[in-house]
Copies of this chain bind each other. A is one copy, B any other.
């Protein structure tokens, strides 16, 4: 079981990271996720890291890479469920997760994505 399942809800894909990701499983996740974004036409990706206790620069880069790939494919990425200790570590490591939006939990992440989409639609129709 080293493939992380991707759940679809409306035009949002939800990924819950629970395992210690190794190089191979990160590559598989990036591949699966980008395929799913294209196949489903998803507008948003939510990555839940509430089970992640330890974050290093490897995980930080992974999140930034996924956000970058998704943006290329016209989907916004929101990271949710970050533990306080993880936030402290990230800042101490100097990893600001540039380009990655965060929200407290899944609900707020969904609300953020809907808000972003509404703003984009408003901008297009203006």
Complex contacts, A50 vs chain B, CB 8 Å? 5, 7
Task: List residues of chain B with CB within 8 A of the CB of A14.
Answer: 7, 14, 106
- Majority-rule SS of A interface residues: loop
A51 adjacent to chain B (CB < 8 Å):
yes
Contact B5 A81 (CB under 8 A): yes
> With an 8 A cutoff between CB atoms, is A107 at the interface?
yes
Answer yes or no: A20 CB below 8 A from chain B CBs. yes
Q: How many A residues, CB 8 Å from partner?
A: 23
Shortest C-beta distance, A14 to chain B (Å), equals: 7
Please tell me if A91 contacts chain B, counting CB pairs below 8 Å.
no
Q: Which residues of B contact A20 (CB under 8 A)?
A: 1
Q: How far is the CB of A102 from chain B (nearest CB, A)?
A: 15
With contacts A16-B18, A19-B19 taken as known, whether A3 is within 8 angstroms of B107 at the C-beta atoms is no
